[in-house]
Amino acid sequence: MGKTVHAFGDDALGDLDAVGIAAAIRSGEVSRIEVIDAAIDRVERVNPHINAIAYAAFERARVAAAGPHTTGPFSGVPSFVKDNNDVVGLPTCFGSAAFKVRPAKKNSPPAEQFLQQGYAILGKSTLPEFGLTASTEYIDRPPTRNPWNVDRSAGASSGGAAALVASGAVPVAHANDGGGSIRIPAAVNGLVGLKPTRARLLDQPGVRQLPVNLVGEGIVSRSVRDTAHHLAAMERTYHNRELPAVGLVEGAAKRRLRIGVITSHATGDALDPETVAVTNVCADMFADLGHSVRAIEPPVGSQFATDFKLYWGMLAVLMSASAQLRHGFDFDPRRLDPVTRGLAKMWTRNSFRTVATLRRLRAATQIYDDTFSNLDVVLSPTLSHPAPEIGYLSPEVPFDELFVRLQRYVAFTPLNNVGGGPAITLPSGMTAGNLPGSIHLSAARGDERTLLEMAYEFEEARPFPRIRAVTAAV
């Protein structure tokens, strides 16, 4: 079994979450530069083991910490931005070798909204090329590794963000989710990962013009409190008036909920028994807490998986074409990896199916809404099996075989992206291979509040596993 890696210790960060660090800075208990120096030291100790940084900006962070104080509720809290969002002065290469390294001239809207909260950016975190697969692995550089077990995948596409947070390098990190890319790495790294309702927060340019907008912006964190406070802060800088406000959720609610439990794959593929067991234990726990719990069938079947696969291929084509138009000679499509090229070829061969596919995917919003006509929450696994070994989902695996593996692995997260609803992944116990387990909770569109209230209740009833308890710091 691979070793466990973390950097928790008795420095300025201690064992605090982001809310705690921000409070310590405001009170003068620690200074901004002490916090930044502690985070940089932690990053430098763990990153040789996990390879989670696309670009470092340590000196820039030190200079900023010594200068005028930023505003925002998380002022001075160290973090990373995922390398698919522009941050002024840092390159954006989308995890791909096809881009020339050039500093961005302005912040993307999601990065700007994130930075408005006061986070101190230490650099950009890794992702697989264009975020198109479920493990942060490459053909031209070392993979990003899971700090709980460095022989295992850190998930994707926010794999670098999750590895940095789980290892204790930073308390939270920016992430985004187009098919599970917040929730998958949160699940395999023992973190909290909330995908908000579609268009709850600002999106990258062009995303809302896509035939089906899949992507939601957010963070990965180690506490429900951080996720709740972050969402409330983001909502104060931008509120989509078409959605009900979430506000600051600070604890569990007293009301008891109707919970539907899914423990079968939409395509009929078998699930890992340990994954099912974790879900059933948590379902029983919610029942013991007074919630009404019953088993339900997946609301979509194998046709949905086929349609999502084709649309994913279409997105690979669109992202490659957009990069070519935007970056010109600074983008070399010959250097795209086999996953992107394989998805593009798959869509090209089946492009005549696109119109019918889009019609069915757009109809999935109604299917999603109907699921919550007599339920408040749906509980399921996040993934079909625990994090695989490095190499199992490598882009070097022949594409057809790789995509079969991906479809079996990523069974539960895409419906929330297509249907537009919120979902949260929460850590739950430990599984074989020294890996944290997880559950996945979904709610009606606009109802992040219910998910956060449930998450607080779950965290109190079933405390999250702690990597610090497993091994000593590196």
31 classed as catalytic:
no
How, if at all, do strands 292-295 and 258-261 pair?
parallel
Write the burial class of residue 459 (CB in 10 Å: 0-12 exposed, 13-18 middle, 19+ buried): middle
384 classed as catalytic:
no
HSE (CB half, 13 Å, CA atoms) of 88? 6
Helices (H) and strands (E) in the chain, counts: 14, 13
Classify 234 as helix, strand or coil.
helix
82 classed as catalytic:
yes
The catalytically annotated residue of 108, 125, 135, 157 is 157
CA 244 to chain centre: 23
- Strand arrangement of the beta sheet that strand 120-125 belongs to: 53-56, 120-125, 78-82
Query: Residues 407, 150: contact at Cβ < 8 Å?
Result: no
Which spans in 67-205 are helix H? 109-115, 159-166, 183-188
Residue-by-residue DSSP string for 288-322: HTT-EEEE---SS-HHHHHHHHHHHHHHHHHHHHH
Core vs surface per residue 136-151: b (16+ CB within 10 A) or e: bbbeeeebbbbbbbbb
Core vs surface per residue 235-261: b (16+ CB within 10 A) or e: beeeebeebeebeebeebeeeebebbb
The catalytically annotated residue of 181, 380, 394, 438 is 181
The catalytically annotated residue of 82, 124, 195, 309 is 82
Catalogue the active-site residues. 82, 157, 181
